[in-house]
Amino acid sequence: MAYAAVLTAGLFRGSVCSQAALSRAIPRALRHLTLTSIMKSKRKTDHLEKTANAVRQEVVSAAKVCGIANESPTVKRLRLLVADQDFSFKAGQWVDFFIPGVSVVGGFSICSSPGLLEQERVIELAVKYTNHPPALWIHNQCALDSEVAVRVGGEFFFDPQPAAAAGNLVLIAGGVGINPLLSILRHSADLLRERADTGRGWETGTITLLYSAKNTSELLFKKNILDLVNEFPKKIACSFHVTKQTTQISAELKPYITEGRITEKEIRDHISRETLFYICGPPPMTDFFSKLLENSHVPREHICFEKWW
């Protein structure tokens, strides 16, 4: 069966990547993954060293770039067709990102849902421009049909079982910290659709996204998020925050925008015994909100955060 890159409003430049062609690419891609590049990175601040104690899958799978888009002026989004049928992930997890010829290993959260992988063998990543070699490669050298390899890791994920009690989700994102939370939001929407279609699966409560960025151009995936809000108006809500907005806010975004940071009151308003909190953003933001929740007597097992970069 052939898999084609999905074209989204002309953003993605798609290529057709067949399963057979990708299977032939596996040996070529993996030949470039030396023991040095898999086991360590050059600098102490690199991804593999920061996540040395994190749980990882054993599968290292070849993948091919089959879509590239500019998500914002500083963030590039990739679609990767993944070859290995044993490759899987849970919403919120990240990948080790191996690039032929680049000794430093990247670490990027998956922003797509597990459902997209199941249906199309595709995952999506959104990578901010930095001087880190893997991010530089993605922004300056990556092209359609580029061959890479990926391996799943991380304990920050949302994977409710069908028999789990109904509960609410509050997702708190800052900047590119939206990536794993978007995966969780998309997975939650998949569960809502499954429940509506079959009457089975996890019974979701309400899902609230509180998302802060410098300005509206740096609010990633705005359309994707608002499409889900409009699809499930009684279940999914979002509040966008901008901290350094200098231009006029568009009419379609204005109802969802607050100028200023996410406040303590907003967080406290969502506290209940049935609510799980997922936080991902700059470390000071993550520290602040996780401590606020602890001090508000939210059980620690109801506070999940990602802070490895």
pLDDT, tens digit (0-9, with 9 covering 90-100), for 45-99: 688 888 999 999 998 999 999 999 999 999 999 999 998 999 999 999 999 999 9
Identify the band that residue 24 occupies on the pLDDT scale cut at 50, 70 and 90: very low
Flag the least confident range among 27-36, 148-157, 166-175, 293-302.
27-36
pLDDT the model gives residue 308: 54
Q: Which fold has domain 2-153?
A: Elongation Factor Tu (Ef-tu); domain 3 (2.40.30)
DSSP one-letter string for 97-155: EEETTEEEEEEEEB-S-HHHHHHHSEEEEEEE--SSHHHHHHHHT--TT-EEEEEEE-S
Q: CATH 3.40.50.80: does it fit domain 167-306?
A: yes
Higher pLDDT, 48 or 6: 48
Identify the band that residue 165 occupies on the pLDDT scale cut at 50, 70 and 90: confident
Mean pLDDT for all residues in the chain: 87
Q: What is the mean pLDDT of residues 223-248?
A: 97
Domain residue spans of the chain: 2-153, 167-306
pLDDT at 203 over 90: no
pLDDT the model gives residue 166: 81
* Dist. CA 246–CA 191, nearest whole Å: 38
Q: What is the mean pLDDT of residues 11-29?
A: 42
In degrees and rounded to multiples of 5, residue 307 shows phi and psi of -155, 55
Place of tokens 């993550």: 286
pLDDT the model gives residue 309: 55
Flag the least confident range among 114-118, 163-167, 211-215, 286-290.
163-167
DSSP one-letter string for 212-239: EESSGGGSTTHHHHHHHHHHSTTTEEEE
pLDDT the model gives residue 218: 96
pLDDT, tens digit (0-9, with 9 covering 90-100), for 91-135: 999 999 999 999 999 999 999 999 999 999 999 999 999 999 999
Count of residues for the chain?
309
Q: What is the mean pLDDT of residues 38-49?
A: 60
* Dist. CA 301–CA 279, nearest whole Å: 13
